[in-house]
C-alpha cells in the first residue's frame, strides 16, 4: 500500500471561525492517528500561537509552522528545525521596515525560545488588536528602540493593518528575492497581513522535505487561503474547503464542505473507512 501524508492548514480550514478546533474534529483525528493515519498541519502561525488551539491533537509527525520556517513538535512546542535571516538580510530589513513599530512585530529566536518584539506607542488598529489579544503573554516583548526589535536571530516579520497601510511595505520588500513574502487579507477580519520569512521557507518546500524524510509516497493537502497555494501546486491531491478563496478552489482536486462543518475531519474519516 502507498504511504500517504495528509496535511491541513489551520485557520479557516481545520479550525472553525471562532478560532477553535471542535471537539468532534479533535476526537476524529486522534482516533484516526491512533489507527495509523499520517496527519499533521501546516500554518502561518508559530507553534506557540498554534498549540493553545491544537494542543488536544495527539500528532506523531512534526508540524509545519511559520509558513514553513519552523518545524515543531505539537506536543511539547519544541522547535525541531528553524530558519533565520542572515546578518545581511537583517540589515536590509531594518532599512526597509522603519515604520514597523507602528504596524508590526519581529519574531526572534533567543536560544530555544522565540519572542515577538515590538515597541510601545501608537499602532495600527490591526496590530493593536493583536497586541490586546496577547496581552500578558511573556513571549510578547516591548523593546525600547527599533534596533532592539531585531535582537538574537530574527526569523520572521509580521505587519498587520489596513490594505493601504500594509501594501506599500509589501511593495518595498517584494522586489528582493532573498526572502519569501505573503500579503493577504486575514481569514477572520478585514485587516491585511504581510509576512516575511527566509528564502525557500514555504509550506510546499517544508512538506516535500517531510515527505522525503519519512518516506511518504503521496501528499494530500487541505486549505482555504493564498498561503496554501504553494502546497496545493505540489500535492498529489489538494482539497479546498467550501469557504476557501476562489483562487485556491481553481487549483483544487475537489471542493469539500465548510470548515464550520468539520469538513477535513470527516473527509479523513471517510478515507480511513475505505482502507
Q: What is the mean pLDDT of residues 139-148?
A: 96
Confidence of residue 227 (pLDDT cuts 50, 70, 90): confident
Q: What is the mean pLDDT of residues 207-225?
A: 95
Portion of the chain with pLDDT greater than 90, in percent: 86
Q: pLDDT per residue over 55-89, tens digit each?
A: 999 999 999 999 898 999 999 999 999 999 999 99
Boundary of a domain, candidates 198, 229, 253: 198
DSSP at 260: G
Where in the sequence is the domain holding 143, given as residue range(s)?
Answer: 87-198
pLDDT of residue 173: 97
Boundary of a domain, candidates 198, 224, 242: 198
The rounded mean pLDDT for the chain is 94
Q: Are 190 and 94 in a shared domain?
A: yes
Distance CA 26, CA 247 (A): 28
Q: pLDDT per residue over 19-59, tens digit each?
A: 999 999 999 999 999 999 999 999 989 999 899 999 999 99
Number of domains in the chain: 2
pLDDT of residue 275: 61
Q: What is the mean pLDDT of residues 244-265?
A: 96
- For residue 274, is pLDDT > 80? no
pLDDT of residue 41: 98
Q: Are 102 and 63 in a shared domain?
A: no
E strands, the chain, where?
4-8, 39-41, 63-65, 70-72, 79-82, 104-110, 113-119, 140-143, 153-161, 179-185, 192-198, 218-223, 237-240, 254-255
Q: Are 251 and 148 in a shared domain?
A: no
Q: Are 53 and 105 in a shared domain?
A: no
Cell matching residue 187: 481569514
Q: Are 96 and 192 in a shared domain?
A: yes
CATH of the domain at 52: 3.40.50.1000
DSSP-derived 3-state class of residue 221 = strand
Q: Are 136 and 213 in a shared domain?
A: no
Q: What is the mean pLDDT of residues 191-220?
A: 94
Q: Are 67 and 95 in a shared domain?
A: no
CATH of the domain at 192: 3.30.1240.10
Q: Are 250 and 233 in a shared domain?
A: yes
Q: pLDDT per residue over 88-137, tens digit each?
A: 999 999 999 999 999 999 999 998 889 999 999 999 999 999 999 899 99
Strand order in the sheet with 254-255: 39-41, 4-8, 218-223, 237-240, 254-255
pTM of the full predicted structure?
A: 0.84
Closest by CA to 150, choosing from 112, 127, 119, 125, is: 119
- For residue 6, is pLDDT > 90? yes
- For residue 12, is pLDDT > 70? yes
Count CA atoms within 13 Å of residue 212 on its CB side: 6
Q: What is the mean pLDDT of residues 1-29?
A: 95
Boundary of a domain, candidates 154, 171, 198: 198
Amino acid at each position: 500500500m502507498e504511504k500517504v501524508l495528509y496535511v491541513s492548514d489551520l485557520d479557516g480550514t481545520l479550525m472553525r471561525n471562532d478560532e477553535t478546533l471542535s471537539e468532534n474534529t479533535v476526537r476524529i483525528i486522534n482516533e484516526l492517528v491512533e489507527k495509523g493515519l499520517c496527519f499533521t498541519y501546516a500554518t502561518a502561525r508559530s507553534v506557540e500561537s498554534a498549540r493553545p488551539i491544537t494542543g488536544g491533537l495527539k500528532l506523531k509527525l512534526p508540524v509545519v509552522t511559520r509558513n514553513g520556517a519552523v518545524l515543531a513538535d505539537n506536543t511539547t512546542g519544541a522547535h525541531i528545525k528553524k530558519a533565520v535571516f542572515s546578518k545581511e538580510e537583517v540589515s536590509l530589513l531594518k532599512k526597509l521596515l522603519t515604520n514597523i513599530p507602528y504596524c508590526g512585530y519581529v519574531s526572534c529566536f533567543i536560544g530555544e525560545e522565540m519572542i515577538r518584539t515590538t515597541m510601545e506607542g501608537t499602532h495600527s488598529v490591526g496590530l493593536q488588536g493583536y497586541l490586546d489579544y496577547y496581552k500578558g503573554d511573556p513571549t510578547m516583548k516591548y523593546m525600547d528602540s527599533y534596533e532592539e526589535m531585531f535582537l538574537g536571530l530574527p526569523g520572521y516579520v509580521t505587519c498587520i493593518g489596513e490594505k493601504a497601510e500594509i501594501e506599500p511595505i509589501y511593495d518595498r520588500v517584494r522586489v528582493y528575492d532573498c526572502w519569501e513574502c505573503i500579503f493577504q487579507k486575514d481569514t477572520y477580519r478585514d485587516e491585511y497581513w504581510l509576512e516575511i520569512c527566509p528564502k525557500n521557507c514555504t509550506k510546499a518546500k517544508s512538506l516535500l522535505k517531510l515527505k522525503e524524510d519519512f518516506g511518504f509516497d503521496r501528499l494530500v493537502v487541505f486549505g482555504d487561503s493564498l498561503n496554501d497555494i504553494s502546497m496545493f501546486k505540489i500535492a498529489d491531491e489538494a482539497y479546498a474547503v467550501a469557504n476557501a478563496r476562489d483562487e485556491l478552489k481553481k487549483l483544487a482536486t475537489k471542493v469539500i464542505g465548510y470548515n464550520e462543518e468539520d469538513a477535513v475531519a470527516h473527509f479523513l474519516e471517510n478515507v480511513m473507512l475505505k482502507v
